[in-house]
Amino acid sequence: MKFTFRDGIRSQLRPLPEVSTFAVDLTGKVVIVTGANIGLGYETAKHLASMKPAKLILACRNLETGNKAAADITRATGCSTVVCWQLDISDPKSVKAFVDKFELEGGGKLDILLENAGMNNFSWKRAVTGWEQTIATNHLGTAHLALRILPFLLKAEKPRLAIVASDVHYWVANPNEADTDGVLQKLNDQKQKGKFYAITNRYFVSKLLNVLYARALSSHLPPGTSLTVNAVNPGLCSSALLRDLNAVARIPMQVLSRTVARSTEVGSRVFVHAVVARELDGKTGEFLQSCKVDEPSDFVISERGASASKRLWTDTLAILSEFDDQIPATVNTYLK
């Protein structure tokens, strides 16, 4: 569907349901929220903590702020099962160490994974792997964690994986570029020309990749599984996401932030809904926003979009297999 900037403003102004209207009892459930030390991840974790999970793991790159968040959530909700574990999602070694720790201490199965950690870079920076940092964090790291932890998700009863995307995926310039040979490599080439590849548009593209990857992973789930995989958009929310924005570009964003942006608590309701609401039971490969299933961009649902999703799947698996020799076996054993 087309989703104009005006549609975005209109949807921002519509109230979202309170979490109490779709909350569930998470007794016995194991939950992970990435990037939960601040912002939307923190507010989501706080809501989930009030549903009494057996274990709630805040996966944060900064242990100091993560531990403080865990203590604050415990104080606010009375939930004593909140812990913070270190995870830098842009670093494959950190992803592997996180999942190894989960294997030892996680409790054997994973009921909910909210892949929320994300960033918005406006200049060229590279992660430890040499990949451009936004792609390394928002796409490659997110894809890696999802695959590496998949065996534990598949052991749970009605598990859910939600990948945080955005409405900006509707506004990617020249999205057909996503359906061209070596698109990830081209995104990693600073000399590549064209709007799709500009670093200033990189965040939008990374969020399109989140939508395409969630659909691809969902389409490869084994027959009969109850695991669902969806992409979810919180809408525009006032957070620290634009911390790297330059002063000129910051002005219009500040205006939007003060007029139509949701608070992170309100935006987090969309994430909580995505991972617990019973009305989403069995829904997979969907795009969720405003606490409901919605249609993603015309590109995503087009033939080129389907082809881009397949291409992204193959290219991503090839890259992740270079970082992590367990990826091919995981894919062969657990996915179709």
Helix (H, G, I), strand (E, B) or coil at 14: coil
For ligand NAP, the binding residues in 40-59 under the rule CB under 6 A are 40-41
Q: Which two three-digit tokens encode residue 315?
A: 């290219």
Half-sphere exposure of 142 (CA within 13 A, CB side): 32
Return the active site residues: 203, 207
Among 19, 216, 241, 291, binds ligand NAP (CB under 6 A): 241
- Mark the segment that binds ligand NAP (CB under 6 A) among 77-85, 114-122, 246-254, 299-307: 114-122
Strand, coil or helix: what is 107?
A: coil
CA distances from 16 to 250, 262, 264 (A): 26, 10, 12
296 binds ligand NAP (CB under 6 A): no
Q: In the chain, which ranges are E strands?
A: 30-34, 55-60, 82-86, 112-115, 160-164, 228-233, 287-289, 292-294
Tell me, by CB under 6 A, how many residues bind ligand NAP. 29
Closest to ligand NAP by CB, 61 or 269: 61
Enumerate residues 139-198 that contact ligand NAP by CB under 6 A.
164, 166
Tokens of 73: 């959530």
Query: Which candidate, 209, 214, 210, places its Cα nearest to that of 227?
Result: 214
Part of the chain binding ligand NAP (CB under 6 A), chosen from 18-26, 31-39, 219-227, 272-280: 31-39
Q: Return the number of the residue (58 or 277) whose C-beta is nearest ligand NAP.
A: 58
Query: Segment contacting ligand NAP (CB under 6 A): 14-22, 103-111, 115-123, 177-185?
Result: 115-123
Residues that bind ligand NAP in the complex, under the rule CB under 6 A: 34-35, 37-41, 61-62, 65, 87-90, 116-119, 137, 164, 166, 233-234, 236-237, 239-241, 264
